[in-house]
Amino acid sequence: MPTIFVTGDLFANRYGVQAFAHGCNCHDSMGAGIVTTFRAQYPAMYEAYRARCKAEPHQFNLGDSFLWKDSTLPWVFNLGTQEQYWRDRATYEAIEMVLRAMRHQANVKGIQSIAIPHIGTGYGASRGARCV
């Protein structure tokens, strides 16, 4: 899958991608940044995400890729890049692990195109110099 860098509104889906992806925490909070738009546009996905985060044992953990399938909108890869939203930050290792998981799921599901904003640069910003 080639990488093409573009700017603009991810949700406008100018290129007709099959799926979106975004980094998020594993603590059931989508309260800041681009995840608030995902939460608003995919309310059932948000509830499923929260249920996975609150389950015992947790069903959404660091490095996990939770694929939400929608019948009318692009599917969404929720990428577990940070444990908790208020103190943990995304690490390069977690980002690499979750991108591998997403790629595997995309291959299995036949997803050829994914639009993804930068990960590890916003509210869950990595303290390291590397980001995606």
The confidence band for 1, taking pLDDT boundaries of 50, 70 and 90, is low
In whole numbers, what is the pLDDT of the chain averaged over residues?
86
Q: Can you list the domains of the chain with their CATH numbers?
A: 17-115 (3.40.220.10)
The confidence band for 27, taking pLDDT boundaries of 50, 70 and 90, is confident
60 touches 78 (CB < 8 A): yes
Give me 65's structure tokens: 């890729």
Give me 36's structure tokens: 């608030």
Task: Identify the pLDDT of residue 84.
Answer: 58
Task: Identify the pLDDT of residue 5.
Answer: 83
Task: Identify the pLDDT of residue 3.
Answer: 79
pTM metric for this prediction: 0.85
pLDDT digits (tens, 9 = 90+) for 45-91: 999 999 999 999 989 999 999 999 999 999 999 999 987 555 566 78
Of residues 119 and 81, more confidence is placed in 81
Strands 75-82 and 65-68: antiparallel
Distance CA 69, CA 73 (A): 8
Of residues 111 and 7, more confidence is placed in 111
Distance CA 125, CA 132 (A): 11
